[in-house]
Structure 1
Amino acid sequence: MAKEKELTYGLETLAPGIDLEDVYGLKILDAKEVRAVVKIETDRGTFALKKVGHKPEKLQFMYEAQEHLWNNGFQKLPRFEKTRDGRPFLEAKDGLIFLNNWIAGKESNVNDEAQLKQIVRLQAQLHQASRGFTPTVRAHIKTRWAGWIERFEEQLADLYRVYELYKGQTPQNELEATFLETVEPMLEMAEQGIALLKASPYPEVLKRERQLRGLVHGDFTYHNFIHTPDGDMQVIDFDYCAHELRAHDFARFMRKMLRRTDWSVEMGDLILNTYHEVDPLFEDELQVLRAVLYIPQRYWRAVERGFLSNRYTPEGSIKKMRQEVARLDNWKRYLDAFPTRL
């Protein structure tokens, strides 16, 4: 018995008072930490054991969303392993725990054009399969519908809040000096993006998407796409999934990729056209997407975390603010050439 305990090291801490073998009806052969999960080898295959601090209704939403995708033909994602009595997760003393099937592979390489196209197609396929999702009464998260304008106005207000504190004053350190040197063009970008969003067909796009009841993944970044040994691509980590415009996922991913390539028109065209081939983008969505890409999200985050929440070091905020301003000319040039139709 002692040897068995050694093989499942850490599981008593992760799931105190829970006999995982009994609850799931399996035999644990080995367990080791891999990033934010525990990889568990069992007599029924390999699983990822994860603990989260979500409320039960949110984790239920994640479970139902992933099952909806699977049942609609999108099966390039992990599934929840149910307990013997049919539960998708368990309540522990300090969180919720659940098992997913383990997806073997490594993080995707977005510098590889073939893999990048796989990722973009996967996003489009996920959005297609997500439509028609209606969670049960047990599944609930804070809705994100219709929140973009208010969210961006709050971010703009944060920038002005810090600006009002320091403008006209002699900066006392490099952080304050960098902020004062860089903030005005970023205020202009934020204001222009909000103005364009308000003038865009955003309400019509929102109405159509709400009727379709589609999902977004919420965190389309390279480390959430796993390139498997057989050359396939899988998407993981649905912690931020929600009912939302698909442009939410798309804008987040595009912004990251365009920054990496200094707002390359070629990169933008590749992403847009690859997605459009799978799940066509409407002209009104392109207007909304262009407006959202004006919003200086990364700059706002550097300011908010450098001055308001203090979650970044001064050096971290300085670096990010300077990086965003250095890209500004190419950023504007890209948005000036942004397509109105595909």
Structure 2
Amino acid sequence: MPTIQEAALVLNQYYGIKKPKIEWIQNEPDKAVWKVIDNKETYILKSDYRSSKSFTPSITLQYALSQQGLKVPEVIATKQRKLCTKQGEHRYYLSKYISGGPASIIDRVRIIGDYHQHATWPSSLTSNQQPSALKNGINRWISEYQLKLKELMKWKDQYSLPYIQPCIQLAEKCIRVSSRRAPLLADHLTSVNNRRWLVHGDLTHLNVIKTPSGDLWIIDLEHSRIDSPIKDIRYLLPRVVLSSYYKEYFTRFPEGTSFKELYYIDAIFPHSLHFYLGGSIRQMKLPLKSSQVQEIVSDELAKDDMISKELGGIK
């Protein structure tokens, strides 16, 4: 794991920042993060923790998007005019620090709608998605549902959660409906590739910052890639659909309305329940809170009822 001493060396040698105040923020599976205060300027310094093929391209992407005027933190070039540097076994990059607090659901809907409309993979970067892999892309889409379904079934038995059975049935319904809509999915993935649409890839409430002036910023682009915008909004959909915020999303990303049916079909799957259960189990937050699980199940069922009406009562 990179140390504060190593971070200070990088700041001195490559950025000319001599005696900053460095605060450790967090270590994640793929990166370490520090807050750096130098005189009146504040930055974020990140280092890859494990070798990641997406780390360096994501820095170039973040720089390109900030230069285009999108609300993503500006990457600071080194004294050698490079966007990142390597010290020892780790790579580092520095970006502007955005001060503010976590954004609400509607704020995340707005910022991701704008991101999907305006953010595209720069022509200067090699595409990380090959159009020739379209058929495999469809298979992966369906197999992702199937894998999550298997995990839900395993967790139901392993942790004695009989009340998630209705959500297991939602997952099975999603797989059936998605398989029948394969041609629409093929059209969508073709558009994703042709238009070089981007997903953020990790749209948690912590990765959208609302500043005191009301501006919204997206941070942590390490998982951004060419992929379906549907995958960004799926974890918001239970609350988005139940409160009709999805209208705000499609207003900001009008091209998404061409594939609104796929958004709804994807939303049938109980992604939020899978996310909560999986996260709790991985973080050893056991036993699982029955009331929390049942609340999520209730939201998923209410969401499915609304979506089914939107899609004409699909089964």
Q: TM-score, normalised by structure 1?
A: 0.75
Query: SS in structure 1 opposite 2:23?
Result: strand
Question: Relative to 1, partners in 2 of residues 1:328 and 1:60: Cα closer, same or farther, differing over 3 Å?
Answer: closer
Distance 2:163 2:146 in 1: 19
State which of 249, 254, 257 in structure 2 corresponds to 1:275.
249
Contact residue 75 and residue 94 of structure 2 kept, 8 A: yes
- Give 2:305's aligned residue: 333
Q: CA offset at residue 273 of structure 1?
A: 1.8
Question: Relative to 1, partners in 2 of residues 1:203 and 1:21: Cα closer, same or farther, differing over 3 Å?
Answer: same
Distance 1:202 1:131 in 2: 20
Q: CA offset at residue 133 of structure 1?
A: 3.1
- Give 1:104's aligned residue: 99
Larger radius of gyration: 1
Question: Relative to 1, partners in 2 of residues 1:277 and 1:303: Cα closer, same or farther, differing over 3 Å?
Answer: closer
Question: Relative to 1, partners in 2 of residues 1:44 and 1:339: Cα closer, same or farther, differing over 3 Å?
Answer: farther
Contact residue 156 and residue 191 of structure 1 kept, 8 A: yes
- Give 2:284's aligned residue: 312
Query: SS in structure 1 opposite 2:209?
Result: strand
- Give 1:225's aligned residue: 208
Distance 1:136 1:282 in 2: 24
- Give 2:151's aligned residue: 158
Distance 1:39 1:60 in 2: 20
- Give 2:222's aligned residue: 239
Q: Residues 194-273 of structure 1: matches in 2 within 5 Å?
A: 194-200=175-181, 201-255=184-238, 257-258=239-240, 264=242, 267=243, 269=244, 271-273=245-247
Cα deviation 1:172-214 (Å, max 9, x = unaligned): xxx643x2x2243222101111112122211111111111011
Contact residue 62 and residue 238 of structure 1 kept, 8 A: yes
State which of 252, 260, 273 in structure 2 corresponds to 1:299.
273
- Give 1:193's aligned residue: 174
- The size of the alignment, in residue pairs, is 298
Unaligned residue ranges in structure 1 (runs of 5+)? 1-9, 111-115, 167-174
State which of 34, 45, 66 in structure 1 corresponds to 2:41.
45
Deviates more, 1:322-331 or 1:232-241: 322-331
Query: SS in structure 2 opposite 1:337?
Result: helix
Deviates more, 1:96-105 or 1:319-328: 319-328
Query: SS in structure 2 opposite 1:316?
Result: coil
Cα deviation 1:260-299 (Å, max 9, x = unaligned): xxx62xx1x2x22212222204454111111111112233
Does residue 24 in structure 1 map to residue 20 in structure 2? no
Question: Relative to 1, partners in 2 of residues 1:197 and 1:83: Cα closer, same or farther, differing over 3 Å?
Answer: same
- Residue identity in the other structure for 1:149: I
Q: TM-score, normalised by structure 2?
A: 0.80
- Give 1:7's aligned residue: none
- Give 2:30's aligned residue: none
Does residue 85 in structure 1 map to residue 80 in structure 2? yes
- Give 1:172's aligned residue: none
Deviates more, 1:277-286 or 1:234-243: 277-286
Contact residue 193 and residue 292 of structure 1 kept, 8 A: yes
Question: Relative to 1, partners in 2 of residues 1:253 and 1:160: Cα closer, same or farther, differing over 3 Å?
Answer: closer
Unaligned residue ranges in structure 2 (runs of 5+)? 28-32
Contact residue 57 and residue 141 of structure 1 kept, 8 A: no
Contact residue 54 and residue 223 of structure 2 kept, 8 A: no
Q: CA offset at residue 134 of structure 1?
A: 4.0
Contact residue 125 and residue 279 of structure 1 kept, 8 A: yes
Question: Relative to 1, partners in 2 of residues 1:326 and 1:211: Cα closer, same or farther, differing over 3 Å?
Answer: same
Q: CA offset at residue 231 of structure 1?
A: 2.1
Identity of aligned residues (%): 17
Question: Relative to 1, partners in 2 of residues 1:316 and 1:92: Cα closer, same or farther, differing over 3 Å?
Answer: farther
Contact residue 28 and residue 40 of structure 1 kept, 8 A: no
Distance 1:287 1:103 in 2: 36
Does residue 124 in structure 1 map to residue 117 in structure 2? no
Contact residue 21 and residue 36 of structure 2 kept, 8 A: yes
Q: CA offset at residue 238 of structure 1?
A: 1.1
Distance 2:19 2:129 in 1: 33
Does residue 15 in structure 1 map to residue 10 in structure 2? no
Contact residue 131 and residue 213 of structure 1 kept, 8 A: yes
Deviates more, 1:54-63 or 1:184-193: 54-63
Distance 1:54 1:185 in 2: 39
- Residue identity in the other structure for 1:155: K
- Residue identity in the other structure for 2:266: V
Contact residue 100 and residue 209 of structure 2 kept, 8 A: yes
Distance 2:159 2:305 in 1: 28
Question: Relative to 1, partners in 2 of residues 1:304 and 1:107: Cα closer, same or farther, differing over 3 Å?
Answer: closer
Structural RMSD (CA):
3.2
Distance 1:119 1:305 in 2: 21
Q: Residues 141-152 of structure 1: matches in 2 within 5 Å?
A: 145-146=137-138, 147-152=140-145
- Give 1:4's aligned residue: none
- Give 1:72's aligned residue: 68
Q: CA offset at residue 88 of structure 1?
A: 1.9
